A and B are shown apart, each in its own frame.
Chain A
Amino acid sequence: MHVEQALTLAIALLQAVERALADGDSAVALTSALQATDDAAREELASAIADAELRLADGK
């Protein structure tokens, strides 16, 4: 596992544990935490693609 993947998983797990503690749940919702992380990453890549398209259009 790449160190960046390990960090991402660790952070999502901590966030899920924090939420469980705050809600008084004994079960950690890790999947939904990771889905939220991927949703944010998707938006980040979509934004980068849009910016690159603009840059290309400006350069032509």
Chain B
Amino acid sequence: MKALYAFILILLLAASAFAAPLSGTATGGGPIIVGTLADANNPAEMAMAPEYTRLAVVRQRTARSLNRLAASSETDPDRLEAALFSASAVQRAADEARAKLDGLAGARDEAAFRFALDEARDLIRRAETLCDHIAKGN
């Protein structure tokens, strides 16, 4: 796993070496990128990005743990059934959190946005706790 992470990091660093120059003037070769900074930033997007990330990772980790348990001949059926129950609960909590995150764009004001974001975070935390229990064999 660490080797995979190292490979991905090297890939990311190598990708940055091919980054296109950002310039408001025409240059020969490479894309021209013109845009204003003030219009490009969305605070809501930056608040939601970590939560979308947590969602994806908790689903991926749950899937891996469940696959590992299902593939092992040493896993007893009761443990697999318990893990399956928890994994289904992870999926449901993640779906509910995802619906809240997707609906945040329609929040009427900052207070409503914060409230809905906190609700989504609680659901994600619940999913993460269940995921950890599956991994530990609880």
> Which A residues fall within an 8 A CB radius of B?
1-5, 7-12, 14, 21, 24-28, 30-31, 34-35, 37-38, 40-42, 44-49, 51-53, 55-56, 59-60
Contact = CB atoms under 8 A, between A and B. Distances in A.
A9 B53 contact: yes
Contacts of B52: 31, 34-35, 37-38
Nearest to A34: B52
Given A11-B8, A37-B56, A48-B87, A56 B61 contact: no
| Majority secondary structure, B binding face | helix
Contact of A14 (B12, B62, B81): B12
B84 A52 contact: yes
Given A14-B12, A48-B62, 8 more contacts: A14-B15, A24-B32, A26-B36, A31-B52, A44-B59, A45-B94, A49-B84, A56-B81
Contacts of B35: 25-27
Contacts, number: 122
Contacts of B98: 38, 42
B122 interface: no
Contact of A30 (B15, B45, B61, B62): B45
A37 B52 CA distance: 9
Interface of B: 5, 8-9, 12, 15, 20, 31-36, 39-40, 45, 48-50, 52-57, 59-64, 66-67, 69-70, 77, 80-81, 83-84, 87-88, 90-91, 94-95, 98, 102
